[in-house]
């Protein structure tokens, strides 16, 4: 399981400071754009070395990658991994679905969905309960200010593109030209939290210190399964009991109107044979147009 952030807080600070000198400002900067690109470049040697070690020590093992930038890191595996098997994992698909079901008062376990695209820019193509489309209820929920105000950027993207996107409003604001480049008034109108990731990383550094201290005490640790996909994948591979997760792998035609070599995020079947993307078919053309500039950078 790969969960590294090469360079830590110091390098992340540079990801924001250098672009800022040239008038480019960001919220998260870990996926695409200058911050994502340079994070990928400093993670590349680790990813390549990790795959080389796996090839020597455990050639049949699967690498579960949680590290961003997800798509570019998985491109590293595809191009330089020498056949090592891996899948990229994020929590935005299942996390956002839970949030959306909260908006309309439904239990996620009683509903079903299909989502596809690329990491952080996948879209819920279908959401249903008992065969009935749930999108009309989401459009209705958006009209309530207490709902709209929690996700202004993503609801605006839904108005433009017709579908809800997986990654948070603070991430999504920097993936397209509709928000940050339009200036201070638009940033304030849609509550875009500039430099949000720096504040988050500050908190994470403090959390690491608390965890180190906690680990040395006799206080018991509560262990439970989270909504992360890692344990589900391990269970399915070991027992053979099939599961469906959302993974990031080489597209290979799963999404028919994205390049075959792109890293797609789509429904992924897991069993003793490992992980394999399922066939989604075509994405709506406006979504392809939205994600393709990022696919090209990856």
Tell me which of 91, 120, 222, 294 is the catalytic residue.
91
Separation between Cα atoms, residue 140 and residue 103, nearest integer Å: 10
Q: Which residues contact 141 (CB under 8 A, 6 or more apart)?
A: 103, 104, 147
Angstrom distances, CA of residue 247 to CA of 30, 128, 152: 18, 21, 27
pLDDT of residue 222: 87
The one-digit pLDDT tens for each residue of the chain (298 residues) are 999 999 999 999 999 999 999 999 999 999 999 999 999 999 999 999 999 999 999 999 999 999 999 999 999 999 999 999 999 999 999 999 999 999 999 999 999 999 999 999 999 999 999 999 999 999 999 999 999 999 999 999 999 999 999 999 999 999 999 999 999 999 999 999 999 999 998 888 889 899 999 999 999 988 888 999 999 999 999 999 999 999 999 999 999 999 999 999 999 999 999 999 999 999 999 999 999 999 999 9
The dihedrals phi and psi of 84, each to the nearest 5 degrees, come to -65, 140
Angstrom distances, CA of residue 46 to CA of 3, 54, 68, 189: 11, 12, 13, 40
Q: Beta strands 85-89 and 243-250: pairing type?
A: antiparallel
CB neighbour class for 87 (10 Å; exposed up to 12, middle 13-18, buried from 19): buried
Angstrom distances, CA of residue 258 to CA of 13, 41, 73, 116, 154: 33, 24, 18, 11, 22
235 assigned to active site: no
| Whole-angstrom Cα Rg for the chain | 20
Structure tokens at 168: 């948070």
Give this prediction's pTM: 0.96
pLDDT of residue 249: 98
Separation between Cα atoms, residue 192 and residue 180, nearest integer Å: 8
Q: Which stretches of the chain are assigned E, i.e. beta strand?
A: 62-65, 85-89, 112-118, 121-129, 132-133, 243-250, 263-271, 274-277
Q: Which residues contact 173 (CB under 8 A, 6 or more apart)?
A: 27, 153, 179, 180, 190, 192
């Amino acid at each position: 399981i790969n969960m590294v952030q090469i360079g830590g807080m110091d390098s992340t600070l540079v990801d924001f400071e250098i672009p800022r000198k040239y008038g480019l400002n960001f919220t998260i900067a870990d996926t695409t754009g200058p911050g994502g690109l340079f994070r990928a470049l400093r993670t590349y040697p680790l990813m390549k070395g990790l795959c080389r070690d796996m090839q020597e020590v455990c050639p049949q093992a699967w690498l579960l990658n949680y590290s961003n930038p997800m798509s570019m890191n998985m491109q590293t595996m595809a191009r330089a991994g020498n056949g090592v098997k891996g899948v990229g994992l994020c929590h935005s698909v299942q996390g956002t679905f839970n949030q959306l079901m909260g908006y309309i008062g439904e239990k996620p376990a009683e509903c079903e969905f299909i989502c596809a695209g690329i990491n952080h820019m996948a879209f819920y193509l279908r959401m249903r309960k008992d065969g009935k489309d749930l999108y009309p209820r989401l459009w209705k929920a958006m009209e309530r200010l207490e709902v709209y105000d929690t996700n202004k950027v993503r609801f605006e993207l839904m108005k433009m593109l017709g579908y809800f996107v997986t990654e948070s409003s603070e991430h999504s604001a920097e993936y397209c030209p509709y928000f940050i480049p339009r200036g201070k008034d638009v940033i304030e109108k849609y509550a875009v939290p500039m430099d949000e990731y720096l504040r988050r990383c500050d908190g994470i550094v403090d959390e690491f210190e608390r965890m180190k201290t906690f680990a040395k005490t006799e206080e018991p640790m509560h262990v439970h399964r989270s909504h992360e996909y890692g344990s589900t994948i391990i269970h399915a591979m070991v027992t053979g009991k099939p599961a469906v997760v959302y993974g990031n792998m080489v597209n290979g035609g799963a999404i028919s109107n994205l390049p075959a070599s792109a890293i797609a995020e789509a429904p992924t079947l897991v069993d003793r044979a490992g992980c394999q993307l399922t066939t989604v078919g075509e994405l709506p053309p406006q979504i392809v147009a939205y994600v393709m500039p990022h696919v090209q950078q990856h």
